[in-house]
Structure 1
Amino acid sequence: MTESATAILLVDDEEMLREPLAAYLRRQGFAVTEAASAAAARSVLVDGTPDLVLLDIMMPGEDGLSLCRHLVEARNIPTILLTARGEATDRIIGLEIGADDYLVKPFEPRELVARIRSVLRRANRIPDAAEQAPAGEDRDYLFEGWRLDVLKHRLTDPDGAMISISTAEYRLLRAFLDHPRQVLDRDRLLDMVQGREAHLFDRAVDNQVSRLRRKIEADSRNPEFIQTVRGGGYRFAADVRRAGTEAP
């Protein structure tokens, strides 16, 4: 998808912020739809799925965190939270839910555009020639009958059924698949999955692991793949290979 076709849903009840920001994003080539509440956003979503949602946390009625959970778990839409400076706890919860990034108000619009492009690239919604995978790195991951499609960010189970995963869950699973049978502590996993300021959100990895276990484990309470290592973190306990390569 080209950047000129990138559709953004901007959800914020502050008209004085929302309208100028929407105008700025349109000048950058994005197609922006505005919503003044979570209810209005849900109405917009009935008619189509945007490429990304910019979501204010503090809104009257349904708050942004509740809507964020719906966007991530039910719709798998990349989401950037817009937060007030004093809402550290809400930012942590947002990342635990699966939001892709956050930006603290007031912010520089150019920084927001950079964050949007970064999230869209990670979600594979826009191409970036400068970040094309090296030869061989676009091969799918295979483990115990499962397949993770690197280019389309799709996960299929041994029966061939597609399993919906969020952008954060994809990044976490790929971190495990890149390091099979290795113990990865929380700091290292958070750095791989969340990147910037990950050390502030050490609870996020446990929540993301729990969500991912529910997707890929036959019994998430007795995991076969993502095993907890006491005092160490987690280990992906399966052999992994890339499509087109011989099994180990």
Structure 2
Amino acid sequence: MEAEHPRHLVIVDDEVDILDVLEDALTLEGYRVTPLRRGRDLLDLLERAPVDLIILDLRLEQENGLRVAQQVRERSPIPIMMLTGKGDETDRILGLEMAADDFLMKPFNLREVIARVRALLRRSTELSVTPRTLSAEPQGGLVFDGWQLNLSRRQLFNPKGEAVELTSGEFNLLAVMVQSPNRVLSRDVLLERTHGRETESFDRTIDVLVLRLRRKLEENPKAPRYIKTERGMGYRFEASVSQL
């Protein structure tokens, strides 16, 4: 682990036992962990200190975890892993659509939590895939129709030169698609390249991230120009892509 500069994780859960278990496990892994019981305390902390990753319970006492995640997302692209004890796929889809980068059901295995934390942190700082279509790794980034995707800084700029805020999950998916333009990529392939081979994420994860990306990229998300749906197959990024 990073002994000199440990990554700062914040856990928000109103169950003290969950907070204690996660704090102990992640501290032993070398992370700096701040446990909180209220979402509003998280929002206050974000004003004062840098945070690398948030683990947030969906069902907070007297608070809506989804709303807290959305408020975080309005301020920052910090990776968010949401926890819930309810096995309803609708909650997972809603959480991903609103703000989350990953979702873990209670009760959970601590080794899985640690593995997912590592994966989210890794994906938030570097691409987990190797470019397959372009011959050499782009130094500055990739360009399509005036849009610029800076892989090293993990930023997207629109044709006006304005930065477009992307979550970690959105950026990773867009990077995978832009690096394989005009090719059909199945949901399974996209899940593997963005979440890893051992992910337990579900098919709708990709669909929800595509929905979010279309809202930010497309002039008309219902008639997308770039991210095309290939019925029964997956998605295709349609554009001429070049290196900066």
What is the alpha-carbon distance in structure 2 between the residues aligned to residue 229 and residue 104 of structure 1?
A: 31
After TM superposition, give the deviation of residue 68 of structure 1 in Å.
2.2
Q: 2:169 aligns to what?
A: 168
Distance of 1:179 and 1:234 partners within structure 2: 11
Structure 1 stretches lacking a partner, 5+ long: 244-248
Which residue matches 1:201? 203
Q: What residue in structure 2 maps to residue 23 of structure 1? A: 24
Tell me the CA shift for residue 66 of structure 1: 2.1
Deviation at 1:85, TM superposition (A): 5.8
Task: Go from structure 1 to structure 2 and tell me whether the alpha carbon gap of 1:201 and 1:27 turns closer, same or farther (over 3 Å shift).
Answer: same
Contact 1:58-1:83 within 8 A present in 2 as well: yes
In the alignment of these two chains, the number of paired residues is 237
- The corresponding residue for 2:182 is 181
Cα RMSD (Å): 2.9
Taking structure 1 as the reference length, the TM-score comes to 0.81
Partner residue in 2 for 1:151: 152
Offset at residue 20 of structure 1 (A)? 3.8
Write the deviation string for residues 168-219 of structure 1: whole angstroms up to 9, x where unpaired. Answer: 1112211221221223344443444445234x333x3333222212222233
SS in 2 for 1:123: helix
- Does the residue aligned with 1:147 lie in a helix, a strand or coil? strand
Q: Work out whether 1:91 is the aligned partner of 2:92.
A: yes
Percent of matched pairs sharing the same residue: 36
> 1:246 matched to which residue of 2?
none
CA drift at 1:165: 0.6
State TM-score, norm by structure 2: 0.82
Query: Which deviations, in whole Å up to 9, do the C-alpha atoms of 1:15-67 show, x marking residues without a partner?
Result: 12213422332233222222102122222222234100011111112222222
Task: Give yes or no for contact 1:69–1:98 (8 Å, CA) kept in 2.
Answer: yes
Contact map agreement 1:98 1:208 (CA 8 A) in 2: no
Q: CA deviation at 1:237?
A: 1.8
- Indicate yes or no: 2:44 matched with 1:43: yes
User: Does 2:133 align with 1:136?
Assistant: no
| Structure 1 residue 155, shift from structure 2 partner | 0.9
Letter in 2 for 1:104: M
Question: Per-residue displacement from partner, 1:92-129 (whole Å, max 9, x unpaired)?
Answer: 3323334222333333334322221111001107x9xx
* Equivalent residue letter for 1:137: E
